[in-house]
Amino acid sequence: MHHFTYQEGRLHAEQVGLAEIAREVGTPAYVYSQATLTRHFQAFARAFSGLDALVCYAVKANTNRAIVSLFASLGGGADIVSGGELHRALAAGVAPSRIVYSGVGKGEAEMAAALKAGILLFNLESPQEMEVLDQVAGVLGVKAPVSIRVNPDVDAQTHPKITTGLAKNKFGMDMATAFAQYQAAAKLPHLEIKGVSCHIGSQLTDVRPFADALERLAGLVERLAGSGIRPGILDLGGGLGITYNQEQPPQPDDYAGALKQTVSRLGMRLVLEPGRVLVGNAGILLTRVLYTKRTPVKRFLVVDAAMNDLIRPSFYDSYHAIWAERQRPGLETAVADVVGPICETGDFLARDRELPRLERGDLLAVMSAGAYGFAMSSNYNSRPRVAEVLVNGRRWAVVRDRETYEDLCRGESLPPWMD
Ligand SMILES: *Cc1c(COP(=O)(O)O)cnc(C)c1O
C-alpha cells in the first residue's frame, strides 16, 4: 500500500503532482510520501502491540534525516551499522536508549562514540570484537550493554547478496560459539549481557525462516538460563520483504503472529529492526526520458537516472515497476530496456519491459525505490547525487539538496609536488 496514484491521468505523490516536483527541482529526484511512511511504521508497530516491543528502524535503508526523524517522532528507535549512522540517528533526535548497533566491523572509535552516547545494545558478531569492546568500555569506565548476534543457519530464501543467516555468511556467531561466548562475556568486567540477537537476511517473503530462527534462539535462551545467564532483550533483526513485482510477502500482522507465542513464552523485551518494509514502497525515483533509441535488435529508453542513483537492478537483479507520469490510454506499448547515461552495460533500471511508447521529455517513476535507493547511490561518472523530496498531503519540501559540481570535488587537492 502506498500513496502514489493517478489523479486525472497524472501521477501524484499524495496530493502533489510529480510533474510539478520535476519542474521545480529537476530530475532525477527521489520523492517520498510521508503518509505512506507513517502508515507503514504504525502498521508494523501495531502488529506487535501487546508485547513489550521496540521498533528500531534500520537506518541504512534510507538515511535521510527527515525520515529518521519522522520514525523517531512516531516512537521508533534506530538500528545502526556505523559511527556515521550513530551520528545521523542522534542528529535526527533518536533517543540513545532506543539505538541498537549491529555490524561485523565496528571500529574502536565507533564503539567509544556509541558508549558515550549511551546506546541500548551492541550486537556482537565475533569473539575478538567482544574483547575489544570490553577494553574500550574499560578505558571509558563504563559497562557496554551487549548481545551476541547468533547466526542460526537458516535459509532466508532470498537473493544470495542479501541472505545473512547461513553458516557460510560473515555475520554473527554459530550456536555453539555463541553459547561459549556468553560464558566468556559473563566473565569480562566491562560488559553487561543484555540480549540475544539475529538478523537472517533481507526481502524475505515467507514467515517460515523467521519462525525457524526464533525457535533456535529460544533454544539458546533456555540453555543460557540453565547456565545462569538471563538476557532480557530478544532482537529479531529486520528483513521483512515488500512487493516489487508479484511477491506476496507476509503482512506485518502475519509476521508478528508467527512470532508472538514464542516471544510471550520467553517473556523478553522484543527489538525489531525493520528497514525495507517501512520505506521501500514509500519512495519513487523520478526520472525523465532523454532519448528513445532503436538498434537492430532492441529498443532503449535512455533516461537521466542511472545505476549510480539506483543500483539495485544491476547489483541484485532487482525488479522495479516503471510507471509513466502521464497516463495515455490507447498509446501503443513496446518492449524496451530503460537505461541510464553511465558508461557501463550494467547500467539499467529495467530490462525487456513492456512500456507505453514514451517520448523524449516524458517523465517516469521508478517505483518502490525508497529503500536502498538514495542510500546506496554514488557519484560514479561524476554525477552529483540527486535531490530528495518529502511530500505531505498538499505540501512538499526538498529534504536533501541536489549536489553541485563543487560538492563533487570537495576535499580533493593536488600533492605539493604538483603545485
Ligand atoms: C540491513 C539490516 C536490517 C534491515 O533489513 P531490512 O531487510 O531492510 O529490513 C536490520 N538489521 C540488520 C543488522 C541489518 O544489517
Ligand 1 nearest atom to the CA of residue 240, by list position: 9
CA-to-CA distance for 272 and 58, rounded, in angstroms?
Answer: 9
Distance 32 CA to ligand 1 centre (A): 20
- Residue 161: pLDDT over 80: no
Question: Which residues' Cβ are closer than 6 Å to ligand 1?
Answer: 58, 60-61, 79, 81, 102, 199, 202, 237-240, 273-277, 371
Q: What is the helix (H) or strand (E) element at residue 365, kind and residue range? A: strand 363-366
Amino acid at site 281:
N
pLDDT tens across 180-194, in order?
Answer: 999 999 999 999 999
User: Which of 102, 120, 149, 372 has most ligand 1 atoms within 8 Å of its beta carbon, as the pocket-test mutant?
Assistant: 102
User: Which of 162, 169, 199, 210 has most ligand 1 atoms within 8 Å of its beta carbon, as the pocket-test mutant?
Assistant: 199
Model confidence band, residue 109 (pLDDT cutoffs 50, 70, 90): very high
What's the chain's average pLDDT? Answer: 96
pLDDT at 159: 80
- Residue 155: pLDDT over 90: no
CA-to-CA distance for 337 and 211, rounded, in angstroms?
Answer: 39
Distance 273 CA to ligand 1 centre (A): 6
Distance 240 CA to ligand 1 centre (A): 9
pLDDT at 41: 98
CA-CA distances (angstroms) from residue 257 to 26, 211, 253, 340, 361?
44, 10, 6, 42, 47
Distance 61 CA to ligand 1 centre (A): 8
CA-CA distances (angstroms) from residue 81 to 86, 110, 213, 234, 358?
8, 10, 21, 18, 41
Q: What three-state secondary structure class fits 231?
A: coil
Instruction: Write out the CATH class of domain 103-272.
Output: alpha beta
Distance 198 CA to ligand 1 centre (A): 10
Nearest Cα residue to atom 13 of ligand 1:
102
CA-to-CA distance for 207 and 257, rounded, in angstroms?
Answer: 9
- Asked whether the beta carbons of 241 and 277 are under 8 A apart, the reply is yes
Which residue carries 493517478 as its cell? 6
**DSSP state for residue 203 in the 8-state scheme:** S
Ligand 1 nearest atom to the CA of residue 61, by list position: 8
User: Mean of the pLDDT values across residues 360-389?
Assistant: 98
- Residue 338: pLDDT over 80: yes
Domain boundaries along the sequence of the chain: 4-32+280-408, 103-272
Ligand 1 nearest atom to the CA of residue 162, by list position: 7
Ligand 1 nearest atom to the CA of residue 60, by list position: 1
| Distant-in-sequence, close-in-space partners of 416: CB < 8 Å, separation ≥ 6 | none
Which residue is catalytic, options 56, 198, 343, 409? 343
Q: Give the DSSP per-residue string, 70-120.
A: HHHHTT-EEEE-SHHHHHHHHHTT--GGGEEE--TT--HHHHHHHHHHT-S
343 labelled catalytic: yes
User: Which of 59, 123, 202 has most ligand 1 atoms within 8 Å of its beta carbon, as the pocket-test mutant?
Assistant: 202
Distance 239 CA to ligand 1 centre (A): 6
pLDDT tens across 2-59, in order?
Answer: 999 999 999 999 999 999 999 999 999 999 999 999 999 999 999 999 999 999 999 9
Taking only Cα atoms into account, the Rg of the chain, rounded to an integer number of angstroms, comes to 23
CATH code that applies to domain 4-32+280-408: 2.40.37.10
Q: Which three cell numbers stand for residue 282?
A: 514509500
CA-CA distances (angstroms) from residue 101 to 83, 97, 105, 337?
9, 11, 11, 40
Nearest Cα residue to atom 3 of ligand 1:
238
- Residue 118: pLDDT over 90: yes
Q: What three-state secondary structure class fits 398?
A: strand
User: Mean of the pLDDT values across residues 97-111?
Assistant: 97
Ligand 1 nearest atom to the CA of residue 123, by list position: 13
pLDDT tens across 71-94, in order?
Answer: 999 999 999 999 999 999 999 999
User: Mean of the pLDDT values across residues 119-147?
Assistant: 98
